[in-house]
Structures are given as structure tokens and as C-alpha cells.
Structure 1
């Protein structure tokens, strides 16, 4: 579990350094790092519960998405899956759906990043309450 917590903290430190040193750019990377922070916290939570969520994003979806399974590997609050999948989609869009002018794309990603921080902080609060040793205070 600690390896996932350490990676989540590493990713969060990266986000904070980007915010500090590049407040008006690199929102695609800030969004992507937000998702991977959530992924590692989710994996730490699963490890704490004694379950293996799977190796791939597909495995995780098959084991937790209420549209794919009526019996997830461990119980989670409904908002946890919703926040997680939203962060994943924001991350995928930031990496693969870049078709606009750079200035326009930057502003879209700026807004998306703000939403990602909200989603991530909600997840961090949940995981902290479940015993995952993560910072419960707000990211960034």
C-alpha cells in the first residue's frame, strides 16, 4: 500500500510544482497527474481492503463500474467511482483529444484542471477516512 501512497504523493508534488512554477500552462499534465494521483490512492485503498483491482484500466472498470458488475470487489461510495471515472476521462481527453488552437485548448484544460482538483480532493477525503494515509487537506 505504501508504494501507491508514495506515488500519489509524488504525483501531487509534481502538480504543486507545476502550479507554482507554471501557473498558466501545462494544464494537460496537471490534469493527467491528477488522475494518476487518484489511481494510486484507489490502488492503495484496494490493497488496504485486501483486494486486487486488476492491472489495467479495463480490469479496474470490470471490477468496480456498477454498469459492468453488480458485485464490486469491495464496497465504495457511489461518488468514488463517478469521480474516478471523470478524472480518467479528463486525463484521456487532455492527452488524446487536442484539436483546438493552443490558447483555446489551454483555457479549456485550465477549467478542467479546476474540476479535477475538486474531484481529487473529494476522493482524498474519502480515502483518508477509510484509512489510506494520504493528505486530507486540499491539493494545490
Structure 2
């Protein structure tokens, strides 16, 4: 019995070693993909860059809206607790109302970066289509 336990522990350790080595090694395919001349790979890299730029630009706008909404929710919850009402319901109602109230301003701020992202995605696709037509 003791030998069986030792043998199973040893086999698990041996199986875990190569798996760990495979997951910790850097992926050579990722480095090769960036230098590819394949039009599809180039398009996907350009689109990924456009999405990353969009997310970086959208992050502060989303954070600003979330802070505004959360302030309204916190205020409504505090008022509900003080008046003896249900704070969960008050918070839910305040979140919906604050989200609706901030939507026009949020949409106006997001519109230019959405358009820039969409244009970059379309341009990457157009370059891919042109390169595929030349083949």
C-alpha cells in the first residue's frame, strides 16, 4: 500500500512537471504572428490595435459615468436608511434613474471614439481585401 501511494505521487509529480514547463514557456507563435505578411493576420492585428485604443479611450468615460451613478445610488441608499425605507429597492431605482439621466452625455462622449474604432476596423478590412485581390 505504501509503495502504491509513493508510486502515484511520483507519477503525478512527473506528469505535472512537463505541463508546468509547457505553460510557463513563452509562446513563439505570438511573436511570429506580429511580423506576418499574411493579409488576414495583418488585418486582425490592426483590428486588435483599434479595439485596444478604443478600450483605453473609453475606460475613463465609463469610469466617470460609473462614479456619477454610484454617487446617486449611495445618496439614495443613505436617504432610504434614514427614512426607514428599503435601501435595496432605493438603490436599484436610483441606479436605473441615474443611468438613464447620464445616457445622453455618455453617448455624446463615446460617439467620436466609436466612430474612430469603426473607421479603423473598416480600413483594416479594406486593406485586407485589396491584398487578397492582388493574390
Q: Same fold, TM exceeding 0.5?
A: no
Relative to total residues, which structure has the larger helix share, 1 or 2?
Answer: 2
TM-score, length basis structure 2: 0.31
Structure 1 or 2, whichever has the larger Rg, is: 2
TM-score, length basis structure 1: 0.30
